[in-house]
Amino acid sequence: MRKRAAQAALELVLDGMVLGLGSGSTAEIFTRLLADRVAEEALDIIVVPTSAGIERVALDLGLQVSSLNEYPEPDLAVDGADAVDKDLNLVKGGGACLAREKAVDYAAKRFVVIVDERKLVSRLFEVPVPVEVMPCAWRAAEQVLRRFGTPRLRLSSQGKYGPIVTDNGNFVIDLEVSADVPPTELEIELNAVPGVVENGIFSRRRPDEVIVGTPTGTKRLKPT
């Protein structure tokens, strides 16, 4: 299902584009398909990765990598999501790449999300909201975040002892939201907490299109 969504998004890529590359397993499928097409058709494509992980993949595949500083308005950003509600609000950041993902995705002229149908939810906050916090202030931020639900510092499960550390050198708190707050308001509220760098609610810039992979094909969701 993820591959079907990625293949459909690939059809949106045109020669000469600057592409924002999302992070995560579905975005990596898109990146690998993109690299195949670039090689087969000799396309002139520049990619702006949203994480060190997807940057490594892009470099290994021979893609031309640049940055948001050099291309502050990518033509198209293609990214995955952890949850998508009926209004196309998103929760992202399961891979702890949320700050750079938001910077690239929000800056792009067109933002497209690729998911499988299991990511569609009736309530956005069925999944925890990742919140990237400064290491020197995570305890203080955690106390404030309790106003909105139950916060838990994300710990590493592989290799590293202690908290997950983002590409920006920060920690991640996963917030199980229990407060009755609209996504757009909560996105702003969380970023107002001292010590918070960014959060994983994507509501102020909803995707222009969500491509959903299904067992038999794809369906496309657009803002109403």
Q: What is the pTM of this model?
A: 0.94
Q: Quick one: pLDDT at residue 136?
A: 98
Ranges of the chain whose pLDDT falls below 70: none
Q: How far apart are CA 68 and CA 112, in angstroms?
A: 17
Q: Quick one: pLDDT at residue 126?
A: 96
CA angle 148, 153, 154 (to 5 degrees): 120
pLDDT digits (tens, 9 = 90+) for 16-37: 999 999 999 999 999 999 999 9
User: Catalytic amino acids?
Assistant: 101
Q: Quick one: pLDDT at residue 85?
A: 97
Q: Quick one: pLDDT at residue 201?
A: 98
List domains and CATH numbers for the chain.
2-122+203-215 (3.40.50.1360), 124-200 (3.30.70.260)
Contact 43, 77 (CB under 8 A): no
Residue 220, classed as helix, strand or coil, is: strand
Strand partners, 90: 84, 202
Residue with tokens 């939201």: 177
Q: Quick one: pLDDT at residue 158?
A: 77
Q: Quick one: pLDDT at residue 1?
A: 94
Q: Quick one: pLDDT at residue 224?
A: 83
Q: How far apart are CA 135 and CA 11, in angstroms?
A: 41
Q: Quick one: pLDDT at residue 157?
A: 81
Dihedral of the CA atoms 145, 207, 154, 58 (nearest 10)? -150
Residue 159, classed as helix, strand or coil, is: coil
Q: Quick one: pLDDT at residue 36?
A: 98
Counting Cα atoms < 13 Å in the Cβ hemisphere of 211 gives 25
CA 210 to chain CA mean position, Å: 13
Contact 184, 203 (CB under 8 A): yes
Residue 171, classed as helix, strand or coil, is: strand
pLDDT digits (tens, 9 = 90+) for 80-117: 999 999 999 999 999 999 999 999 999 999 999 999 99
